[in-house]
Chains A and B, each alone.
Chain A
Amino acid sequence: DAGVIQSPRHEVTEMGQEVTLRCKPISGHNSLFWYRQTMMRGLELLIYFNNNVPIDDSGMPEDRFSAKMPNASFSTLKIQPSEPRDSAVYFCASSFGDSNYGYTFGSGTRLTVV
Chain B
Amino acid sequence: AQSVSQHNHHVILSEAASLELGCNYSYGGTVNLFWYVQYPGQHLQLLLKYFSGDPLVKGIKGFEAEFIKSKFSFNLRKPSVQWSDTAEYFCAVSVLGGYQKVTFGTGTKLQVIP
Contact = CB atoms under 8 A, between A and B. Distances in A.
B100 A107 contact: no
A114 interface: no
A96 to B, nearest CB: 13
Contact of A43 (B32, B42, B104): B104
A31 B98 CA distance: 12
12 contacts: A42-B107, A43-B90, A43-B104, A43-B107, A45-B104, A93-B44, A99-B100, A100-B51, A102-B36, A102-B102, A103-B46, A106-B43
Contact of B96 (A33, A98, A107, A108): A98
A91 B44 contact: yes
Interface in B57-114: 90, 94, 96-104, 106-107
Contact of A103 (B99, B102, B106, B107): B102
A56 interface: yes
A42 B106 contact: yes
Interface in A93-113: 93, 98-108
B34 interface: yes
Contact of B99 (A42, A98, A101, A108): A98
- What's the interface size class on B, roughly? 20 to 34
Contact of A102 (B42, B46, B96, B103): B46
Interface residues of A, number: 22
Interface string A68-108: 00000000000000000000000101000011111111111
Nearest to B35: A102
B78 to A, nearest CB: 19
A108 B49 CA distance: 22
Nearest to B47: A102
A31 to B, nearest CB: 7
Contact of B32 (A31, A56, A100): A100
A91 B45 CA distance: 12
Given A33-B101, A98-B97, A99-B100, A105 B43 contact: yes
B43 A102 contact: no
Contacts of B34: 102
Contacts of B36: 102
Nearest to B44: A105
